[in-house]
Amino acid sequence: MNHRQLAFIGLGNMGSGMAHRLLAGGYGLTVFNRTAAKAGPLVEAGARLADSPEQAAEGHRVVLLSLSDEQVVDEVLFGRVVPALEPGSLVVDTSTVSPGYAREVAERLAAKGLRRVEACVVGNPLQAREGALRVYVSGAEEDMAEVRPVLDTIGSQVLHLGAPGTATSMKLILNLLLGAQVASMAEAVAYGVAAGLDREQLITSISESGFSSVVMRFRAALMRDSSYEPAFFRADLMEKDMRVATAAARESGLALPVLNTVRERFAAVVAAGDGAKDASVVVEHSA
């Protein structure tokens, strides 16, 4: 199987970063994105632009997906891509979906003679472009082994977790923690400003303290500079991931009351019209 020629479908912030990294790593890419203009820089870098998902997938044995939610995955993968794939082809799916849906997709693909590697990526678009993502993988170990060079190109760490759905669970858990940290820092900043502290000095002190983290320092800088566009991780995607995660937890018998409250904070940001901005914009909605 020729893994040096890949199809890549979905060129949002993360997808575009991963695609650039793969091109830089010597892979040939056929790409598709609903908004074709986003593929321009990749085409200039050597990628071939397809007119449709099926055209992108046709003739390829390995297809990578980076799509926004389960509905889009269903429409693109099963409605457009699967009919164009030869039996035995392998879908590497980096989309963030629910664990239950991840298991369902693996079963539906297997029924059609296709394979799926669940490759959940953690990091930001800059890390994607640098090949510095953490990649959590689920599925058959032999399938992962076939595309391991691809995963090693986009990630500095690749970890196989087990059966379908486990990588998705790990990604969702990390995003729950991300959302909680960003929202709690936003509320702390709002309180500090109300208490008469200088906003910039307060944010700097938080980011330099022992209570901080890599995530908090990164988001603190965005809050300090009111720099929310272009988004590193959109507020509406944060809300979606937290909603998916808390729903999966309920199916396991867990309520997650703290994290449900955090999800509601991001839902309010989306309702206010700031969903396309970076999740750190929640600080502007915490007064």
Is 171 among the catalytic positions? Answer: yes
| Structural contact between residues 122 and 174, judged by C-beta atoms closer than 8 angstroms | yes
Distance CA 162, CA 150 (A): 19
| Structural contact between residues 99 and 149, judged by C-beta atoms closer than 8 angstroms | no
Q: Tell me phi and psi for residue 28, to 5 degrees.
A: -90, 130
Distance CA 194, CA 199 (A): 10
Angle, in degrees to the nearest 10, between helices 99-111 and 166-194 = 150
Bridge partners (DSSP) of residue 118 are 93, 138
C-alpha dist (Å) from residue 31 to 3, 53, 95, 207: 15, 8, 16, 39
Distance CA 10, CA 33 (A): 5
Of these residues, 38, 112, 171, 277, which one is catalytic? 171
Supply the residues annotated as catalytic. Answer: 171
